[in-house]
Amino acid sequence: MRYLLVIPSIDIKNGKTVRVVQGIPELNCNEYGSDPVEMAKIWRTENAKLIHIVDFDGAADHSRNNLQIIREICESVIIPVQFAGGIRTPEDVEAIMDTGISRLVMSTMAIENPDFFISIFKKYGPLKIAIALDIVDEELVIKGRKIMTGINYLDFAKKMSGIGVERFIVTDVLRNGILGGPNLIYSTNVAEVTKGKVTLSGGIRNKDELMDVQKLMPFGVDSVIVGRALYENRFPCQKMWRVAESGIF
């Protein structure tokens, strides 16, 4: 039997772990632990199989201030690290790849500079490059979830699938960080139109909702990113983290 892969998220701003509500980092969240490297070690100890990192400084102002932290995380855990946030240029790609991450999740470059994105995708391939679909009312948002693009998420997903993208991270921004429940429709739609692998992100509140997402696995939704619910201990980690026998990454 295959199980849904649960991926803890570490959101970083000003070098600290922060809570994020609808794409807006809330600082003053010391109860979540301020050191991202230590947090990564904790999730590894809790038997996580993959960690998702978002650099909100990079996404907001295109800084590289957190690169050393990302490198330390990659060196401190023996599991894959997935990264998103602030990748705008080929130079950004090279810099973040040099930290040791296993997969880069991109959105803004793919929309604003498709030729650059295609060249990067051809260089690294579908196992290393994934597409983030951050959605507000079926419209994609970019640049730290601040800019509405006017692009329908399914139209763009089909376009990316056409060039070979196999992994999509789907976030209903309006549900992200508020424990509003997962948007199963967005992720299912992306899986069906692309025939690719989909990671649902945002809204998970409890174990029952993880089971709801697991029912989507036959359609291609094979994993889920969880942030706030994990940090607030809304379900025990050891009993829910599983990994499929193959093909999950």
The residues assigned a catalytic role are 11, 134
Of 51, 38, 103, residue with least CA distance to 79: 51
**Would you tell me how many other CB atoms lie within 10 Å of the CB of residue 100?**
15
At 205, list the tokens.
């509140």
DSSP letter, residue 214: H
* Dihedral over Cα of 50, 143, 178, 210: its sign: negative
Residue 219 contacts residue 188 (beta carbons within 8 Å): yes
Q: How far apart are CA 168 and CA 61, in angstroms?
A: 24
* Cα angle 4, 224, 23; round to 5: 175
Residue 234 contacts residue 203 (beta carbons within 8 Å): no
